[in-house]
Structure 1
């Protein structure tokens, strides 16, 4: 008895490799877009605040040099608009930035649940950086 060849292929269960790769690509792209918006975890609040304080000091220094007029930044101005639970302390109460790039110098300590970090402003060079950084002020 002769059998006829079955020309219709039966569908198989499962996914093809191409479908699997496309799904992984979609998940990877979604993760790359979504997760950075959450910031980080742990001490990221302190890191963001340190960056904000650093940027405000740097902006004042650049404005003084650009405009040719001294600019000052008070601790109260640095603390304005920061999240609850963040403390800003320092010496002196006001840091003055001169048109030539020099400053009155000082230190600003930012505290949060994640710890405390200090940003120093060098009086002669105007360099602004973390105290624990190698080569920092």
Structure 2
């Protein structure tokens, strides 16, 4: 058993000191971490691919239901897409790289193009590639069936 005099000589870290250090470390991490990130997370990239695929599937459904052609228009530079006649812009993450492969007749310019769907469910076909660094997803549209798939 230790005598009271010996206990005074033992030094430790108080709970208050520990909390102060942890708080300071949290503040430093919160400030420094965003400067290293700067890219698009894997989750955000996959979410963007799913959003584009959902837009394509919606356009295909509209073409079949309304028995008319429908399309998804993609602006590669602005990282947006629309589903005419709706003018709402669907925005994709800023640091995302996009590439559009589609039929020549559906290219408006070097940076703007569309994938067209027909009343029978078919399409002009194409591929939209979404990339961030080494990671990428391809959203493919089969020309014969209009089927939309996400490939990683």
- For each residue in 1:52-77, what CA deviation from the matched residue of structure 2 results, as whole angstroms up to 9, or x when unmatched? 01001001000111111101112225
Is 1:84 aligned with 2:87? no
Give the structure with higher Rg (CA).
Answer: 1
Count matched residues: 92
* Superposition misfits of 4+ residues, deviation over 4 angstroms: none
RCO higher in structure (CA 8 A, sep ≥6): 2
In structure 2, stretches of 5+ residues that fail to align are 1-40, 83-89, 103-112
RMSD of aligned residue pairs (Cα, Å): 2.1
In structure 1, stretches of 5+ residues that fail to align are 1-41, 133-137
- How far residue 87 of structure 1 moved from its aligned partner, in angstroms, is 2.2
The structure where strand makes up a greater share of residues is 2
- Does structure 2 conserve the Cα–Cα contact (< 8 Å) formed by 1:72 and 1:96? yes
Q: TM-score, normalised by structure 2?
A: 0.55
- For each residue in 1:78-126, what CA deviation from the matched residue of structure 2 results, as whole angstroms up to 9, or x when unmatched? 3841121122211123211001100000011011246111111000011
